[in-house]
């Protein structure tokens, strides 16, 4: 059947593991790769995987006004035949906004809690993959760990150099992957790929800098207003006169963690009068302290050899 002969179609998505179905409508050309957009259906796809779902066309629709009515008809039909619990459909079908009309705050069912709530999804008990503690979770959930702590401890990242793929697997499954040629970590080329991804025009700051020494450089910000300029003698004199009689902004202020007053400065001056500065005439070659610092740095970097 050619696409121009029909307006759309009604389709049925089936879970091959538990035989639950989803009824949906789609306008335009048939696409058997499209599984549907239902909330419960998408949760189930995340849990079981796309490969465990099949799609079939129930009926082709030739008129636009028929598509909503047909969707409602088939949802009602399958609910009667299979039971409401065997369908992933929440709403009755038709135009958008049905969920709001069904479950809006004006609906008496809105405030119901637990199993009486229209949003209730059946729960099941599972064992945590890492600590083996039992925890309760929705049947549509893909959760394998009881909390985030177990998730971080119970999963490890592995890399396949042939497929160039990185995934996380549980500690129990990791040996199986290592035997198939996977490697622990993100792979040897990961750092290089990250670096190459930010080089040149791939860098988000590329071409956004200002001219510095005739070249555009993103490492520098906007140049100062006095860049490459100098104050004239009259300008310097004006600034000096303006500052006369004013207390310097940093007088008596903290320097580091020490509060230095004029009295403290005087005492420091008298205490150091006549003393030779400890670093006077010393260079990197002659100062033992600098030598030792450099030596310790080398030991930390290359080991004591």
Give residue-wise pLDDT tens across range 111-150: 666 676 666 677 888 888 778 888 888 877 778 888 888 8
Whether 262 is in a domain gets the answer no
SS3 sequence, the chain? CCHHHCCEEEEEEEECCCCCEEEEEEECCCCCCCCCCCHHHHHHHHHHCHHHEEEEEEEEECCHHHHHHHHHHHHHHHHHHHCHHHECCCCCCCCCCHHHHHHCCCCCCCCCCHHHCCCCCCEEEEECCCCCCEEEEECCCCCCCCCHHHHHHHEEEEEECCCCEEEEEECCCHHHHHHCCCEECCCCCHHHHHHHCCCHHHCCCCCCCEEECCEEECCCCCCCCCCCCCCCHHHHHHHHHHHCCCCCCCCCCEECCEECCHHHHHHHHHHCCCCCCCCCCCCCCCCHHHHHHHHHHHHHHHCCC
pLDDT at residue 101 tops 50: no
CATH of the domain at 29: 3.40.1440.10
* pLDDT attached to residue 200: 81
Whether 44 is in a domain gets the answer yes
pLDDT at residue 97 tops 50: no
Q: What's the whole-number mean pLDDT along residues 172-200?
A: 82
Number of domains composing the chain: 1
pLDDT at residue 212 tops 60: no
Give residue-wise pLDDT tens across range 264-299: 888 888 888 888 777 777 666 666 666 676 666 666
Whether 242 is in a domain gets the answer no
Whether 24 is in a domain gets the answer yes
* pLDDT attached to residue 56: 92
Whether 11 is in a domain gets the answer yes
Whether 229 is in a domain gets the answer no
Domain that holds residue 79: 3-99
Whether 220 is in a domain gets the answer no
* pLDDT attached to residue 53: 92
Whether 152 is in a domain gets the answer no
Residue 106 confidence class, pLDDT cut points 50, 70, 90: low
């Amino acid at each position: 059947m050619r696409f121009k002969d029909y307006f759309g179609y009604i389709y049925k998505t089936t879970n091959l593991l538990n035989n639950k179905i989803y009824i949906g409508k789609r306008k335009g050309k048939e696409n058997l790769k499209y599984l549907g957009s239902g909330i419960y259906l998408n949760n189930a796809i995340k849990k079981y995987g796309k490969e465990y779902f099949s799609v079939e066309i129930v009926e082709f629709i030739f008129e636009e006004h028929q598509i909503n009515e047909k969707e409602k008809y088939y949802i009602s039909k399958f609910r009667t035949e299979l039971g409401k619990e065997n369908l992933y459909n929440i709403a009755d079908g038709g135009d958008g906004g049905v969920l709001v009309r069904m479950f809006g705050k004006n609906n008496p069912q809105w405030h119901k809690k637990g199993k009486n709530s229209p949003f209730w999804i059946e729960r099941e008990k599972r064992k945590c993959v890492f600590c083996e503690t039992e925890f309760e979770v929705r049947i549509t959930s893909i959760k394998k760990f009881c909390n985030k702590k177990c998730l971080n401890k119970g999963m490890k990242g592995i890399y396949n150099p042939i497929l160039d793929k990185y995934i996380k697997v549980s500690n129990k499954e990791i040996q199986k992957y290592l035997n198939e040629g996977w490697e622990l970590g993100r792979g040897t080329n990961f750092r290089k790929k990250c670096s190459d991804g930010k080089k040149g025009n791939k860098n988000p700051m590329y071409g956004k800098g200002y001219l510095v020494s005739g070249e555009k450089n993103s490492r520098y910000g906007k140049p100062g207003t006095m860049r490459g300029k100098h104050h004239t003698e009259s300008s310097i004199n004006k600034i000096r006169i303006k500052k006369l009689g004013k207390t310097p902004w940093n007088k008596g202020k903290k320097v580091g963690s020490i509060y230095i007053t004029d009295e403290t400065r005087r005492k420091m001056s008298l205490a150091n009068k006549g003393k030779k500065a400890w670093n006077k005439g010393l260079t990197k070659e002659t100062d033992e302290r600098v030598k030792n610092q450099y030596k310790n740095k080398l030991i930390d970097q290359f080991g004591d050899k």
